[in-house]
Structure 1
Amino acid sequence: MVESSAAAGERWIQPASPILTDYREVKEPVQLQTETRYFQVPQLSFDENNWLKPGSYDAFEASGDWVHINTEHGQVWVNAARALLERPLGIVAVDETITLTEDTETFRYPLTGELSHIKGFYSPQSVQAYEKWISDTGDIWYHFHGFGGDEWMKKADDSS
Protein backbone atom coordinates (compact mmCIF):
# COMPACT_ATOMS: atom_id res chain seq x y z
CA MET A 1 0.00 0.00 0.00
CA VAL A 2 1.26 3.48 -0.79
CA GLU A 3 0.40 6.61 1.12
CA SER A 4 -0.67 9.56 -0.97
CA SER A 5 -2.01 13.00 -0.28
CA ALA A 6 -4.78 13.27 2.28
CA ALA A 7 -7.20 14.38 -0.45
CA ALA A 8 -6.77 11.15 -2.44
CA GLY A 9 -6.62 8.82 0.57
CA GLU A 10 -4.87 5.48 0.71
CA ARG A 11 -4.84 3.43 -2.49
CA TRP A 12 -3.53 0.13 -3.81
CA ILE A 13 -1.26 0.21 -6.84
CA GLN A 14 -0.36 -2.44 -9.37
CA PRO A 15 3.32 -2.91 -10.28
CA ALA A 16 4.29 -2.14 -13.88
CA SER A 17 6.19 -5.43 -14.18
CA PRO A 18 5.16 -8.95 -13.13
CA ILE A 19 6.15 -9.98 -9.62
CA LEU A 20 8.58 -12.86 -9.85
CA THR A 21 8.72 -15.46 -7.11
CA ASP A 22 11.62 -17.83 -6.64
CA TYR A 23 13.59 -15.53 -8.97
CA ARG A 24 17.08 -16.68 -9.89
CA GLU A 25 19.72 -15.78 -12.44
CA VAL A 26 20.72 -18.55 -14.81
CA LYS A 27 23.50 -18.69 -17.37
CA GLU A 28 22.91 -21.94 -19.16
CA PRO A 29 21.19 -23.17 -22.27
CA VAL A 30 17.64 -24.49 -22.05
CA GLN A 31 16.81 -27.42 -24.29
CA LEU A 32 13.23 -27.36 -25.61
CA GLN A 33 12.38 -30.90 -26.72
CA THR A 34 9.14 -30.00 -28.47
CA GLU A 35 7.44 -26.95 -29.94
CA THR A 36 6.89 -24.62 -27.00
CA ARG A 37 4.58 -21.65 -26.56
CA TYR A 38 6.30 -18.43 -25.57
CA PHE A 39 5.00 -15.39 -23.70
CA GLN A 40 6.00 -11.79 -23.04
CA VAL A 41 5.42 -12.23 -19.28
CA PRO A 42 5.73 -15.40 -17.15
CA GLN A 43 2.02 -16.15 -17.10
CA LEU A 44 -0.12 -18.55 -19.13
CA SER A 45 -2.43 -16.86 -21.56
CA PHE A 46 -4.76 -18.59 -23.96
CA ASP A 47 -4.96 -15.70 -26.38
CA GLU A 48 -1.23 -15.91 -27.05
CA ASN A 49 -0.37 -18.60 -29.57
CA ASN A 50 3.29 -18.09 -30.40
CA TRP A 51 5.44 -21.20 -30.79
CA LEU A 52 9.20 -21.78 -30.70
CA LYS A 53 10.84 -24.63 -32.56
CA PRO A 54 12.59 -27.32 -30.54
CA GLY A 55 16.23 -26.50 -29.85
CA SER A 56 18.69 -24.94 -27.46
CA TYR A 57 18.13 -21.38 -26.20
CA ASP A 58 20.24 -19.20 -23.91
CA ALA A 59 18.51 -18.56 -20.57
CA PHE A 60 19.36 -15.62 -18.34
CA GLU A 61 16.75 -15.73 -15.56
CA ALA A 62 14.05 -17.98 -14.17
CA SER A 63 11.08 -17.93 -11.81
CA GLY A 64 9.51 -21.22 -10.76
CA ASP A 65 8.93 -23.29 -13.92
CA TRP A 66 9.31 -20.19 -16.10
CA VAL A 67 12.57 -19.43 -17.92
CA HIS A 68 13.45 -16.16 -19.66
CA ILE A 69 15.36 -16.88 -22.87
CA ASN A 70 16.85 -15.14 -25.89
CA THR A 71 15.23 -16.09 -29.22
CA GLU A 72 14.86 -14.80 -32.75
CA HIS A 73 11.66 -13.16 -31.42
CA GLY A 74 13.56 -11.30 -28.68
CA GLN A 75 13.53 -12.09 -24.98
CA VAL A 76 10.55 -14.31 -24.13
CA TRP A 77 9.33 -16.53 -21.31
CA VAL A 78 8.71 -20.28 -21.67
CA ASN A 79 7.40 -22.95 -19.34
CA ALA A 80 9.37 -26.01 -20.46
CA ALA A 81 7.63 -28.34 -17.98
CA ARG A 82 4.22 -27.51 -19.46
CA ALA A 83 5.47 -27.73 -23.05
CA LEU A 84 5.52 -31.53 -22.98
CA LEU A 85 1.89 -31.53 -21.80
CA GLU A 86 0.83 -29.26 -24.66
CA ARG A 87 3.00 -30.85 -27.38
CA PRO A 88 4.02 -34.36 -26.25
CA LEU A 89 6.89 -36.08 -28.02
CA GLY A 90 5.82 -38.34 -30.87
CA ILE A 91 3.17 -36.19 -32.56
CA VAL A 92 3.02 -37.05 -36.27
CA ALA A 93 1.40 -35.26 -39.20
CA VAL A 94 -1.61 -37.07 -40.67
CA ASP A 95 -4.44 -36.46 -43.08
CA GLU A 96 -7.15 -38.62 -41.55
CA THR A 97 -10.91 -38.24 -41.43
CA ILE A 98 -12.25 -38.55 -37.89
CA THR A 99 -15.81 -38.55 -36.61
CA LEU A 100 -17.14 -36.24 -33.92
CA THR A 101 -20.33 -37.28 -32.09
CA GLU A 102 -22.51 -35.99 -29.28
CA ASP A 103 -20.19 -37.86 -26.90
CA THR A 104 -17.02 -36.16 -28.13
CA GLU A 105 -15.11 -34.00 -25.65
CA THR A 106 -12.37 -31.80 -27.08
CA PHE A 107 -9.34 -30.35 -25.36
CA ARG A 108 -6.92 -27.47 -25.87
CA TYR A 109 -3.99 -29.87 -25.45
CA PRO A 110 -3.81 -33.63 -24.99
CA LEU A 111 -2.39 -33.74 -21.46
CA THR A 112 -3.42 -30.57 -19.63
CA GLY A 113 -7.07 -31.53 -19.05
CA GLU A 114 -8.26 -28.13 -20.32
CA LEU A 115 -11.59 -28.65 -22.08
CA SER A 116 -12.38 -26.84 -25.29
CA HIS A 117 -15.88 -28.28 -25.66
CA ILE A 118 -17.91 -30.58 -23.42
CA LYS A 119 -19.90 -33.59 -24.58
CA GLY A 120 -22.97 -32.49 -26.48
CA PHE A 121 -21.33 -29.51 -28.17
CA TYR A 122 -20.67 -31.19 -31.52
CA SER A 123 -23.30 -32.88 -33.63
CA PRO A 124 -22.21 -35.97 -35.59
CA GLN A 125 -19.83 -34.93 -38.35
CA SER A 126 -16.56 -35.77 -40.03
CA VAL A 127 -13.49 -33.52 -39.82
CA GLN A 128 -9.91 -33.77 -41.04
CA ALA A 129 -7.24 -34.42 -38.42
CA TYR A 130 -3.85 -32.96 -39.23
CA GLU A 131 -1.89 -34.46 -36.32
CA LYS A 132 -2.01 -37.66 -34.30
CA TRP A 133 -0.39 -38.70 -31.03
CA ILE A 134 -0.41 -42.08 -29.29
CA SER A 135 0.16 -41.91 -25.52
CA ASP A 136 2.26 -44.34 -23.51
CA THR A 137 -0.98 -46.04 -22.46
CA GLY A 138 -2.11 -46.48 -26.08
CA ASP A 139 -4.68 -43.68 -26.16
CA ILE A 140 -4.94 -42.15 -29.64
CA TRP A 141 -5.35 -38.38 -29.85
CA TYR A 142 -6.23 -36.36 -32.97
CA HIS A 143 -5.60 -32.64 -33.59
CA PHE A 144 -8.08 -30.86 -35.84
CA HIS A 145 -9.38 -27.38 -36.68
CA GLY A 146 -12.55 -27.03 -34.60
CA PHE A 147 -15.19 -24.45 -33.90
CA GLY A 148 -13.07 -22.52 -31.39
CA GLY A 149 -9.69 -23.04 -33.04
CA ASP A 150 -7.37 -26.01 -32.95
CA GLU A 151 -8.60 -28.79 -30.67
CA TRP A 152 -7.55 -32.28 -29.57
CA MET A 153 -9.88 -35.25 -29.15
CA LYS A 154 -9.15 -38.68 -27.76
CA LYS A 155 -10.37 -41.50 -29.96
CA ALA A 156 -13.28 -43.27 -28.31
CA ASP A 157 -12.62 -46.79 -27.09
CA ASP A 158 -14.06 -49.08 -29.81
CA SER A 159 -14.72 -51.88 -27.32
CA SER A 160 -17.49 -50.02 -25.47
Structure 2
Amino acid sequence: MCKESTREAQFWQNLDGDVQCSLCHQLCRIRPGKRGICGVRENQEGKLMTLVYGNLIAANVDPIEKKPFFHFLPGSLAYSIATAGCNFRCLHCQNADISQMPTQSGRIPGQFVPPEEVVAAAQASGCQAIAYTYTEPTIFFEYAQDEGRAPYGS
Protein backbone atom coordinates (compact mmCIF):
# COMPACT_ATOMS: atom_id res chain seq x y z
CA MET A 1 0.00 0.00 0.00
CA CYS A 2 1.48 3.32 -0.98
CA LYS A 3 0.67 6.86 0.01
CA GLU A 4 -0.97 7.62 -3.36
CA SER A 5 -3.49 4.85 -2.72
CA THR A 6 -4.79 6.38 0.51
CA ARG A 7 -7.38 9.12 0.10
CA GLU A 8 -10.58 10.25 1.70
CA ALA A 9 -13.45 8.00 0.71
CA GLN A 10 -16.93 8.99 -0.40
CA PHE A 11 -20.23 7.85 1.15
CA TRP A 12 -19.62 7.99 4.88
CA GLN A 13 -20.49 9.97 7.98
CA ASN A 14 -18.78 10.64 11.29
CA LEU A 15 -20.44 9.16 14.38
CA ASP A 16 -18.61 10.61 17.39
CA GLY A 17 -15.20 9.33 16.28
CA ASP A 18 -16.48 6.17 14.64
CA VAL A 19 -17.35 6.38 10.94
CA GLN A 20 -20.33 4.83 9.17
CA CYS A 21 -19.46 3.65 5.67
CA SER A 22 -22.52 3.72 3.43
CA LEU A 23 -20.87 2.62 0.19
CA CYS A 24 -22.22 -0.92 0.26
CA HIS A 25 -24.88 -3.07 1.89
CA GLN A 26 -22.65 -3.89 4.89
CA LEU A 27 -23.02 -0.34 6.34
CA CYS A 28 -19.92 -0.85 8.49
CA ARG A 29 -19.55 1.21 11.64
CA ILE A 30 -15.79 1.50 11.94
CA ARG A 31 -13.90 2.42 15.10
CA PRO A 32 -10.78 4.62 14.95
CA GLY A 33 -7.80 2.78 13.44
CA LYS A 34 -9.96 -0.12 12.23
CA ARG A 35 -11.15 -1.27 8.79
CA GLY A 36 -14.52 -2.27 7.42
CA ILE A 37 -15.44 -5.80 6.40
CA CYS A 38 -13.84 -5.21 2.98
CA GLY A 39 -10.46 -4.67 4.64
CA VAL A 40 -9.67 -1.65 2.45
CA ARG A 41 -11.65 1.23 4.00
CA GLU A 42 -10.26 2.52 7.29
CA ASN A 43 -11.17 5.06 9.95
CA GLN A 44 -8.18 7.38 10.20
CA GLU A 45 -8.70 10.06 12.84
CA GLY A 46 -12.46 10.23 12.28
CA LYS A 47 -12.31 10.19 8.47
CA LEU A 48 -13.05 7.23 6.24
CA MET A 49 -10.13 6.56 3.94
CA THR A 50 -9.88 4.22 0.98
CA LEU A 51 -6.58 2.34 1.04
CA VAL A 52 -6.74 0.99 -2.52
CA TYR A 53 -7.20 4.02 -4.78
CA GLY A 54 -5.25 2.95 -7.88
CA ASN A 55 -3.56 0.13 -5.98
CA LEU A 56 -3.99 -2.56 -8.63
CA ILE A 57 -3.38 -6.17 -7.77
CA ALA A 58 -4.48 -7.43 -11.19
CA ALA A 59 -4.48 -5.98 -14.71
CA ASN A 60 -5.08 -8.35 -17.62
CA VAL A 61 -6.38 -8.38 -21.17
CA ASP A 62 -9.24 -10.87 -21.41
CA PRO A 63 -11.71 -11.84 -24.12
CA ILE A 64 -15.05 -10.22 -23.27
CA GLU A 65 -16.65 -13.67 -23.36
CA LYS A 66 -14.78 -14.49 -20.13
CA LYS A 67 -16.93 -11.88 -18.36
CA PRO A 68 -20.46 -12.59 -17.11
CA PHE A 69 -22.16 -10.74 -19.97
CA PHE A 70 -24.43 -12.04 -22.67
CA HIS A 71 -23.65 -10.83 -26.18
CA PHE A 72 -21.85 -7.64 -25.14
CA LEU A 73 -19.23 -6.49 -27.67
CA PRO A 74 -18.76 -10.08 -28.96
CA GLY A 75 -15.24 -10.89 -30.08
CA SER A 76 -13.73 -7.88 -28.31
CA LEU A 77 -11.17 -7.56 -25.54
CA ALA A 78 -11.63 -6.15 -22.04
CA TYR A 79 -8.92 -4.64 -19.87
CA SER A 80 -9.65 -6.37 -16.55
CA ILE A 81 -8.52 -4.74 -13.32
CA ALA A 82 -8.96 -5.23 -9.58
CA THR A 83 -7.67 -4.11 -6.24
CA ALA A 84 -7.38 -6.34 -3.20
CA GLY A 85 -10.37 -6.62 -0.88
CA CYS A 86 -14.04 -7.51 -1.07
CA ASN A 87 -17.24 -6.79 0.83
CA PHE A 88 -18.56 -10.34 0.28
CA ARG A 89 -17.48 -13.66 1.78
CA CYS A 90 -18.54 -16.10 -0.93
CA LEU A 91 -17.95 -19.71 0.12
CA HIS A 92 -16.47 -20.85 -3.20
CA CYS A 93 -14.90 -17.61 -4.45
CA GLN A 94 -12.60 -18.37 -7.39
CA ASN A 95 -10.54 -15.25 -6.63
CA ALA A 96 -10.28 -15.56 -2.83
CA ASP A 97 -6.50 -15.24 -3.02
CA ILE A 98 -6.92 -11.54 -3.87
CA SER A 99 -10.45 -10.72 -2.72
CA GLN A 100 -9.93 -11.95 0.84
CA MET A 101 -6.31 -10.85 1.14
CA PRO A 102 -6.64 -7.68 3.24
CA THR A 103 -7.23 -8.06 6.92
CA GLN A 104 -8.02 -5.61 9.67
CA SER A 105 -4.44 -4.34 9.64
CA GLY A 106 -1.24 -4.60 7.69
CA ARG A 107 -0.02 -3.88 4.22
CA ILE A 108 -2.31 -4.15 1.22
CA PRO A 109 -0.37 -5.39 -1.82
CA GLY A 110 -0.61 -3.84 -5.25
CA GLN A 111 0.96 -1.30 -7.55
CA PHE A 112 -0.24 2.28 -7.92
CA VAL A 113 -1.57 3.04 -11.40
CA PRO A 114 -3.30 6.40 -12.02
CA PRO A 115 -6.76 6.20 -13.66
CA GLU A 116 -5.50 7.82 -16.86
CA GLU A 117 -2.84 5.12 -17.23
CA VAL A 118 -5.45 2.35 -16.98
CA VAL A 119 -7.44 4.00 -19.75
CA ALA A 120 -4.27 4.42 -21.85
CA ALA A 121 -3.24 0.79 -21.25
CA ALA A 122 -6.69 -0.44 -22.24
CA GLN A 123 -6.55 1.58 -25.42
CA ALA A 124 -2.98 0.51 -26.24
CA SER A 125 -4.01 -3.14 -25.76
CA GLY A 126 -6.85 -2.81 -28.24
CA CYS A 127 -9.50 -3.24 -25.56
CA GLN A 128 -12.98 -1.89 -26.15
CA ALA A 129 -13.96 -2.09 -22.48
CA ILE A 130 -12.54 -1.86 -18.99
CA ALA A 131 -13.87 -4.59 -16.69
CA TYR A 132 -13.85 -4.16 -12.93
CA THR A 133 -13.55 -7.79 -11.98
CA TYR A 134 -11.95 -10.53 -9.84
CA THR A 135 -13.29 -8.80 -6.67
CA GLU A 136 -16.45 -6.81 -5.94
CA PRO A 137 -15.66 -3.43 -7.53
CA THR A 138 -17.78 -1.36 -5.16
CA ILE A 139 -14.83 -1.29 -2.77
CA PHE A 140 -12.74 0.79 -5.21
CA PHE A 141 -15.61 3.06 -6.23
CA GLU A 142 -13.63 6.33 -6.12
CA TYR A 143 -10.99 4.92 -8.47
CA ALA A 144 -13.51 3.47 -10.92
CA GLN A 145 -15.36 6.78 -10.91
CA ASP A 146 -12.18 8.68 -11.83
CA GLU A 147 -11.41 6.17 -14.59
CA GLY A 148 -14.86 6.76 -16.00
CA ARG A 149 -14.06 10.45 -16.16
CA ALA A 150 -10.68 9.95 -17.85
CA PRO A 151 -10.72 10.59 -21.60
CA TYR A 152 -10.61 7.57 -23.91
CA GLY A 153 -8.97 8.65 -27.17
CA SER A 154 -10.13 7.66 -30.62
TM-score (norm 1): 0.25
Structure with the higher fraction of residues in strand conformation: 1
Structure with the higher fraction of residues in helix conformation: 2
TM-score (norm 2): 0.26
Higher relative contact order (CA 8 A, sep 6+): 2
